[in-house]
Amino acid sequence: MVLKMAFLSVHSSPLGLMGGKDTGGMSGYLLGLSDALGNAGHRVDLYTRAQDRGGGSVQSLSSNVRQVTVDDGLGLLGKNKIYPHCETIAEALLQQMRGEAISYDLIFSHYWLSGCVGRRISSALNLPHHIMFHTLGRAKNESCPAEKEPLERLAEEEKLANEADLVVAAARLEKERLLDYYGLCPGKIALVPCGVDRSLFSPGDSKQAREKLGFGVEKIILSVGRIEPVKGFDLLIDAAALMPPEDNTRVVIVGGDSSSMAGLAALKERAAKAGLAGRIAFTGIIEHHHLPVYYRASDVTVIASTYESFGMVATESLSCGTPVVGGATGVLPELAGSEAAFSPVIVAENRDPAAWATAIRRACLLKKPLSADRINKLLAPYNWPDAANKYIRSLQTAE
C-alpha cells in the first residue's frame, strides 16, 4: 500500500542550518525518514511556515518528497511566539492542502507546536494524527534546572500524547519515559530510531583531518550541539579542567549561531575561570556536510547533555570511527549495550566532573578509528530504510 503523508515542522524548516537555536536533530530526522519513505514509493510532503510574507513555495527535495512552505500571513515568528497562532497556522496549511486537492492518509506532527497545529488539521480532515515530540518539556525541566519550558507546553504534550493515534519515539529510554509520564498503552508508541548517513559520516585519515583543521598533536575532545543549557557543555568544561596538563587536551565545541551569543559568552567565561582559555575553541555552526572532518580529527566526542531524546551526534561520531562519552540518556545506553566495559560508548552514570574526566581519558586510550566490524555491528539498527519500514509497520499495528 502506498501512503500519502503530511509531516508538519512548524517552528523550524527542515532545510534550516543545523546547530542554530531552533534547528538540530529534528531536521535530520525529517529529511532522513522522508527520503527513505519516498524511496520506498510513499509520498511525503514536509510542511513548514514561511518566515516572510509572500515566502510560500513548493520544492521537490527527493523522489516523492516535497517541502511545502506556507505563507500564513504571520511573517517572522520565533519558536516562543508560535503557540497563540496555532489556529491561524492550521487554517493556512489546510487552505494549501485543499488548494492542491491532495488527500493525505495521515498527519505526522513533529515537536509539540506542530502537534497543536496537526491536531486541528487531522480533526478537520478526519485523519489519524501521529506525533513525535523530539524533546519533552517535562524531561528538559526535570533534568536541567536552567531550562524553564512553559506550563502550556507541558500540558499540551500530555494532551497530545493521550489524544494522538500514534506516538513515535526514537530510543527505548524515550519510549519508557512516555509510558512513565503519560501512562500510554505500549502499543500506541512506535520505536522508530534515527538513521545515520554512513556515506557522509565515514572514517577517514585522522592526520589529514587534523591538518585541515589546524590541530596539532594534542588530544581533541569534541562536542557538537545547539548552545542550550540542556546540552551540558558546562559539565564538559568542568571535566576538562580536571584533566592534568600532561594529557595535552583541547576541547572543541561546535554549534551556536548569532542567537546563541549569551550562552556562548557564559561558556567562555566558565572556561576562562577554569583555566581552560588556551585549550578550548568554539567554532560556531559547522555545516552538516563539513562535520565528518571534525569527528575524524577528534579522539573522543562528548555528549554531556542532561537529556537527549536520541542524540544523533553519537551515531555520527561512531560512524566516523570516533568513540563517544555521554550520560545515560537517549540512545547512548542502547549503543553501549550489555558489554559496557568494552564498548566504544562510555556511559557516565552521574554528572560528577571527576568521573567524566576519567571516562574521557579512558576513551582517549581506545584505538582510533574504531574497527570497521565494530562500527558496522553497533550501527546496524540505525539506518533510514529500516526506520521507514518500522514506521510503516507500526501504522498497520496502530490501525
Q: What residue ranges bind ligand UDP (CB under 6 A)?
A: 18-19, 24-26, 28, 224-226, 254-255, 285-286, 288, 291, 310-313, 316
Q: Are strands 65-70 and 57-62 parallel, antiparallel or unpaired?
A: antiparallel
Nearest residue (CB) to ligand UDP, 90 versus 144: 144
Nearest residue (CB) to ligand UDP, 195 versus 255: 255
Q: Nearest distance from residue 24's CB to ligand UDP, in Å?
A: 2
Return the CA Rg of the chain: 21
Q: Nearest distance from residue 71's CB to ligand UDP, in Å?
A: 26
Instruction: Kindly state the cell numbers that stand for 270.
Output: 566558565
Residues 388, 351: Cα–Cα separation, whole Å: 35
Nearest residue (CB) to ligand UDP, 314 versus 392: 314
What string of DSSP letters covers 308-346? -SS-HHHHHHHHTT--EEEES-TTHHHHH-S-GGG-SEE
Phi, psi of 368 (to 5 degrees): -125, 145
Nearest residue (CB) to ligand UDP, 156 versus 174: 174
Residues 6+ positions from 254 with CB-CB distance below 8 Å: 19, 222, 223, 224, 225, 283, 284, 285, 286, 291, 294
Closest to 209 in 3D by CA, of 298, 274, 87, 142 = 298
Q: Nearest distance from residue 224's CB to ligand UDP, in Å?
A: 5
Nearest residue (CB) to ligand UDP, 255 versus 327: 255
Q: Nearest distance from residue 399's CB to ligand UDP, in Å?
A: 29
Q: Nearest distance from residue 170's CB to ligand UDP, in Å?
A: 9
Residues 163, 123: Cα–Cα separation, whole Å: 11
Q: Nearest distance from residue 96's CB to ligand UDP, in Å?
A: 27
Q: Which residues pair with 293 in a beta bridge?
A: none
Residues 35, 219: Cα–Cα separation, whole Å: 37
Q: Nearest distance from residue 196's CB to ligand UDP, in Å?
A: 9
**Which residue's Cβ lies closest to ligand UDP?**
24
Cell 577528534 identifies what position? 298
Nearest residue (CB) to ligand UDP, 30 versus 90: 30
Nearest residue (CB) to ligand UDP, 320 versus 363: 320
